[in-house]
Amino acid sequence: MKHHQYAITPPMGWNSWDCYGATVTEEEVKGNAEYMATHLKQFGWEYIVVDIQWSEAGAVSSAYRPFIPLEMDEFSRLIPASNRFPLSKDNQGFKPLANDIHQKGLKFGIHIMRGIPRQAVHQNTAISGTNKRARDIAKPNSICPWNTDMYGIDSNKDGAQAYYDSLFQLYAEWGVDFVKVDDIADSKLYGIHAEEIKMIRKAIDRCGRPMVLSLSPGPTSLHSVSLLEENANMWRMTDDFWDIWDLLYDMFEKCYRWSKNIGPGYWPDADMLPLGHIGIRSVDGGASDRFTRFTKDEQLTMMTLWSIFRSPLMFGGEMRDNDEWTLSLLTNKEVLEVHRNGFGARQVYRDEDKVVWSSCGDEATLYVAMFNLADDEEQVAVTLESLGLTDTQVKVRDLWKQKDLEPQFEEITYKLKPHQSKLLKLSNVQTQYCNKGTNLNL
């Protein structure tokens, strides 16, 4: 489908949530954009995304202030809080900031909540392009359970599509390239909001500007898989992910379940990478200002899973505080190649806490990721046969170390420490699993 073209490889970028909660400022956004342009752009990183509540002038944390008035234009549309985003003065919205980011060769994204502001509904304000007003289109009792900003919109009402159209028309004028819509994929109270997803799809298609559509929060139900692919580019497989081992452990099962439902333009999303300096103005995830609580092995394990599975990669930390180690996680070309161009990822096997995945590269290449999720050291092995190889010996390259290893016979086997993993490349191999005639819907 046409919108799949907007994200033909899994999006890579930065998002303000993990470090700044609901409070990020223009200066911080620009600073991170500058960092990305300098250090990361050349590796494929491109999106700079301002997360939730950029209309809240007094936001102080990841904890929202209930019922607080938000900045809004005359047509019931939220606009940036000008104290936090000075460039938005004179009713310019995010246009100047987007320009700035575009000039750095990057792309600009925003977060929105589905629906229309509650304050608009109680004031019964106007909607652009229709004589209907806010009260006419709000779904009376459709709320978000964790934030008081919005009412949902009733797709059966005249003016409903007009409102979403007016939103995306504004975002197109601003120059938005990526929209993360929240409280929509798993609304906790009501399940998935299918009708609002369809209205948003239509509004983007009509707005004249390509925008990647990302749906939150998760876990999104697999039962909605067709709806998701037909309307969005990425959707969360999980509730908010943080630097907690149990959450990373659980992601393996989620990736396994979704692994048949990935392709160019539609990307099940394992959520942001809580790496580097996070929690600066956020208490979500059970902690505050810190460097990631993941060990180095866990960080590699996370990056390896996200890469071979091809989850979107959205870095969550304050990038300007990256140390060398953290930067190295984002700039390994051989690893990023797996993420960008691998295909046909599958879990080869799981035996309790030993897990092996593979995916296909170009020209007789097979990637193999081996994980030890146990709390003890384990010997993790995979037979060449189970990888679909008829060879009895293969050459193996360690992609994180960018170093060739000893050839392996009959099976590939390594001793892995707790939570440790290996990401390998096998060259000059033939496997049925990368034979398009057999494992694709042709």
Alpha-helical (H) ranges within 262-345 are 296-309, 324-330, 333-341
Alpha-helical (H) ranges within 333-374 are 333-341
Interaction between residue 226 and a second copy (CB under 8 A) = yes
Q: State the Cα–Cα distance between residues 352 and 374, nearest whole angstrom.
A: 8
Interaction between residue 141 and a second copy (CB under 8 A) = yes
Which CB, 199 or 319, lies closer to a second copy? Answer: 199
Task: List Cβ neighbours of 243 (8 Å cut-off, separation of 6 or more).
Answer: 274, 275, 278, 285, 287, 292, 293, 294
Interaction between residue 156 and a second copy (CB under 8 A) = no
Interaction between residue 143 and a second copy (CB under 8 A) = yes
Which CB, 61 or 439, lies closer to a second copy? Answer: 439
| Residue 441, Cβ density class (10 Å: 0-12 exposed, 13-18 middle, ≥19 buried) | exposed
Interaction between residue 414 and a second copy (CB under 8 A) = no
Least distance (Å) from a second copy to the CB of residue 413? 21
Please name the amino acid found at residue 143.
I
Interaction between residue 425 and a second copy (CB under 8 A) = no
Which CB, 89 or 188, lies closer to a second copy? Answer: 188
Site for a second copy in 374-403 (CB under 8 A): 388
Residue 54, SS3? coil
Which CB, 292 or 307, lies closer to a second copy? Answer: 307
Q: What is the DSSP letter of 426?
A: E
> Using CB under 8 A, which of the segments 146-154, 172-180, 237-245, 369-377 binds a second copy?
146-154
Interaction between residue 206 and a second copy (CB under 8 A) = no
Task: List Cβ neighbours of 141 (8 Å cut-off, separation of 6 or more).
Answer: none
Count the alpha carbons within 13 Å of 175 in the hemisphere toward its beta carbon.
Answer: 17
Q: State the Cα–Cα distance between residues 201 and 214, nearest whole angstrom.
A: 11
Site for a second copy in 38-67 (CB under 8 A): 66-67
- Count residues near a second copy (CB under 8 A): 53
Among 115, 265, 268, 361, binds a second copy (CB under 8 A): 265
Task: List Cβ neighbours of 272 (8 Å cut-off, separation of 6 or more).
Answer: 15, 17, 18, 241, 314, 315, 316
Angle, CA 308 vertex, CA 279 and CA 242 arms, to 5°: 15
Site for a second copy in 101-120 (CB under 8 A): 118-119
Q: What is the DSSP letter of 139?
A: E
CB 315 within 8 A of CB 43: no
Site for a second copy in 1-20 (CB under 8 A): 1-2, 4-5, 8
Interaction between residue 257 and a second copy (CB under 8 A) = yes
Least distance (Å) from a second copy to the CB of residue 19? 25
Interaction between residue 145 and a second copy (CB under 8 A) = yes
- Measured in whole angstroms, the distance separating CA 417 from the mean position of its chain's CA atoms is 29
Site for a second copy in 294-353 (CB under 8 A): 343-344, 346-347
Interaction between residue 223 and a second copy (CB under 8 A) = yes
Least distance (Å) from a second copy to the CB of residue 117? 10
Among 48, 138, 167, 368, binds a second copy (CB under 8 A): 138
Least distance (Å) from a second copy to the CB of residue 263? 4
Two tokens at 238? Answer: 């999980």
Interaction between residue 438 and a second copy (CB under 8 A) = yes
> Using CB under 8 A, which of the segments 29-37, 48-56, 104-112, 216-224 binds a second copy?
216-224
| Residue 363, Cβ density class (10 Å: 0-12 exposed, 13-18 middle, ≥19 buried) | exposed
Residues at the site binding a second copy, with contacts judged by CB under 8 A? 1-2, 4-5, 8, 66-67, 118-119, 121-122, 124, 135, 138, 140-141, 143-148, 189, 222-226, 229-230, 256-257, 259-265, 343-344, 346-347, 388, 432-433, 436-442
